[in-house]
Structure 1
Amino acid sequence: MDLLRSLPLGLYLEQPQTWLHKLDPRVKLAWLMSFLLAPLLANPLWRLFLVVVLVLLTLIAMIPFRVWRQQMAWLLMLGFFVFLLTAIAPDGLSAEQQPRLPANELAFAQQPATPATAQRPIWLDPRRWLTRDSVDANGERQSEQQPNQQALTESLPQPTAYNYVLFKQKPFLVTRRSLDLGVRVSTLLFTLIYSTNLFLLTTAPEEITAGLETLMRPLRRLNWPVTEIVLTLTLSLRFIPLVLEEVQNLIRSVRTRAINWKKLGFRGAIQVWMLIAERLLENLLLRAEQIASAMKVRGFTSPNQHRVQWHQLRLCRGDWLALLALLGLWGARLIWGSEVS
């Protein structure tokens, strides 16, 4: 198992250089924030549209298939199972669903104002002598038109095709609310993870920090340590592959020892994994100490005095086109993507 290939989290694709690599990091950061904020208060169709846009961006950018096939497949599978479980789960509405109008509306409208128990006998009500009703065993008349009215009411078509329950087959029940929740959760999960991974895949850590430093310059007036924050972010992004490498080496070392987990039992397995976690923490602290020592030897005592400018940020023609496309995306979001209340 190679974690650096199966889980390309936070890794930068150096070759080949696609048109996404050549965009300004500030523009890509604006697109990333748009993908993270656009699903908020959006309808399900817009959320699905964002998923399609991310997949099309990956295909149009001509990123190698070996880079994104496994992660996209796992994310799509995870999103599908989350959608399926959320759709068939209870929607959380405790109110019972009842029709707005009674089932027999015509008969309900012609009911007498007085209760049936207080209705007077027919021989005491002269207004009912001329009606064409039948007399029951108790001496009270019953209307002959009631069955016809009930049949007429049942044959009336529904005014709309709305139905709250979309699928009902015991033990599964899919309602409009549960289906909407399933689309929301699954698409949001895919959008958050894959948009961030696509941004890190096509943007070098130094470009990310340079773009953030440019955007955070106004905070220096508030005495914020912008340079220290940017340097810490650069080191943390560079440290992610080292963490994956250490985890991979420890897993390989455990496999080579051919440990019989059945004989160890539950407590023995817990002890072994605790030792592995302790060893992982020691290795990571050792790597961090080595990086700090290397920076001290090279004279990096303070980020303000020893600054290295890796990239010259400048908006080009492609960046302006990307910004115009971003404005079009937000215009479409405000027109068609808003959630209908």
Structure 2
Amino acid sequence: MDLLRSLPLGLYLEEPQTWLHKLDPRVKLMWLLSFLSSYVVANNFWRVLLVLLLILFTVFARIPLRVWRQQMGWLLILSFMVLVIGSISPDGLGINYQSRLPANEQILTQPTTAKNTQVTPEITNSNKEYSYVLIDKGFVKVSRRSLDLAISLSTIVFTLIYSTNLYLLTTAPEEITSGMESLMQPLRKFNIPVTEITLTLTLSLRFIPLVLEEIQNLVRSVMTRAINWKKLGLKGGAKVWLIVTERLLENLLLRAEQMANAMMVRGFTSPNEHRVKWQELRLRIGDGLAIAILIIFWGIRIAFGSKIS
């Protein structure tokens, strides 16, 4: 199960039980949606703050280093690469940049020669000179807009992926299902099959480890055969991987059929006839504190995180 340990995406960490594990799944879901929605129309200060908050949550939750190092480490490297590439890329404005002040500064300090004018204007340069182009050395050219776009793109990559992964890491699939079903209860008035949707979500989360296991087994089977890829060439190698992909789809469909047969044998025909019982959800003191901090979170977002155009 090396692949499952090296790529723990969407997997639940059973041990150790951190304070994030003990929070109500509905509260954690509201925090997740807040991280994803507060990013919209926010300034770069708030976007960087979201990244720092996710890192602090991981550190103070005392999640084992072996778990989050493989996830956060590679994700930070990816985000940094996106930041660098986005900074040196063209900003999309097809204009020629020029200085705000004229080349000959004496024009601004020369006295007027008009007869009726008695006041001599003197314009002095301030210590803070504005420059649209921040770095211009050789082929490296960083402007204010390109840096702004790079920060925006790199932070959204980290926030979107890691916040979702941290939620799945500290919340069991059954808790996710029960929390979503509890929040979606008002939709029953519109004849929306809430239980079917949550059950499909649970089966999808449970199916992720099976997919990784099948991929791992097929990759190992290819490696143990010691195939000479140079001799096969590009066409032969593509044919081998096409056969492997076909075999992967067959195995996944077989696993899905086995899961469906197991549910049918146990008498599960529909959620209405076979009631799906999830765990009972209760809000505790820690959940109330998390909700209060969430309100403060949105207050700071509205006050200081809005993007000023």
TM-score between the two structures when normalised by the length of structure 2: 0.93
Structure 2 Cα separation of the partners of residues 200 and 311 of structure 1? 17
After the TM superposition, list the runs of 4 or more consecutive aligned residues in structure 1 that deviate by more than 3 angstroms.
98-112
Secondary structure at the residue paired with 1:307? coil
Summarize the alignment of residues 1-20 of structure 1 with structure 2, pairs less than 5 Å apart: 2-20=2-20
CA displacement 1:65-104 (0-9 Å, x = unmatched):
1111111110000000010000011111112223455444
Summarize the alignment of residues 182-221 of structure 1 with structure 2, pairs less than 5 Å apart: 182-221=150-189
Per-residue deviation, 1:314: 1.1
User: 1:12 is aligned with what amino acid?
Assistant: Y
Structure 2 Cα separation of the partners of residues 165 and 100 of structure 1? 12
- Residue of structure 1 equivalent to 2:141: 173
- Residue of structure 1 equivalent to 2:35: 35
- Residue of structure 2 equivalent to 1:331: 299
User: 2:215 is aligned with what amino acid?
Assistant: V
User: 1:244 is aligned with what amino acid?
Assistant: L
Structure 1 Cα separation of the partners of residues 63 and 40 of structure 2? 28
Structure 1 Cα separation of the partners of residues 68 and 162 of structure 2? 10
- Residue of structure 2 equivalent to 1:78: 78
- Residue of structure 2 equivalent to 1:318: 286
- Residue of structure 1 equivalent to 2:62: 62
Structure 1 Cα separation of the partners of residues 111 and 9 of structure 2? 67
Per-residue deviation, 1:330: 0.9
Q: Does 1:300 align with 2:268?
A: yes
Summarize the alignment of residues 227-266 of structure 1 with structure 2, pairs less than 5 Å apart: 227-266=195-234
The one of 267, 270, 273 aligned to 2:235: 267
Conservation of the 8 A alpha-carbon contact between 1:102 and 1:108: no
Q: Does 1:225 align with 2:196?
A: no
Structure 1 Cα separation of the partners of residues 150 and 215 of structure 2? 34
Conservation of the 8 A alpha-carbon contact between 1:83 and 1:182: yes
- Residue of structure 2 equivalent to 1:23: 23
Structure 1 Cα separation of the partners of residues 236 and 111 of structure 2? 75
Per-residue deviation, 1:237: 0.7
Conservation of the 8 A alpha-carbon contact between 2:99 and 2:131: no
Conservation of the 8 A alpha-carbon contact between 1:164 and 1:176: yes
Conservation of the 8 A alpha-carbon contact between 1:205 and 1:237: yes
Structure 2 Cα separation of the partners of residues 181 and 106 of structure 1? 35
User: 1:181 is aligned with what amino acid?
Assistant: L
User: 2:155 is aligned with what amino acid?
Assistant: T
User: 1:223 is aligned with what amino acid?
Assistant: N
- Residue of structure 2 equivalent to 1:289: 257
Rg comparison, structure with higher value: 1
Percent of paired sites with the same residue = 64
User: 2:174 is aligned with what amino acid?
Assistant: E
Conservation of the 8 A alpha-carbon contact between 2:11 and 2:168: yes
Secondary structure at the residue paired with 2:282? coil
Residue ranges of structure 1 left out of the alignment (5+ in a row)? 113-126, 128-151
Secondary structure at the residue paired with 2:134? strand
Compared CA separation, residues 20 and 106, structure 1 to 2 (3 A): closer
User: 1:193 is aligned with what amino acid?
Assistant: I
Conservation of the 8 A alpha-carbon contact between 2:42 and 2:306: yes
- Residue of structure 2 equivalent to 1:47: 47
Compared CA separation, residues 173 and 111, structure 1 to 2 (3 A): farther
- Residue of structure 2 equivalent to 1:138: none
User: 1:321 is aligned with what amino acid?
Assistant: L
RMSD: 2.2
Residue ranges of structure 2 left out of the alignment (5+ in a row)? 116-120
Structure 2 Cα separation of the partners of residues 5 and 212 of structure 1? 28
Per-residue deviation, 1:169: 0.3
Conservation of the 8 A alpha-carbon contact between 1:247 and 1:280: yes
Structure 2 Cα separation of the partners of residues 169 and 71 of structure 1? 35
Secondary structure at the residue paired with 1:20? helix
User: 1:214 is aligned with what amino acid?
Assistant: S
Structure 1 Cα separation of the partners of residues 168 and 113 of structure 2? 71
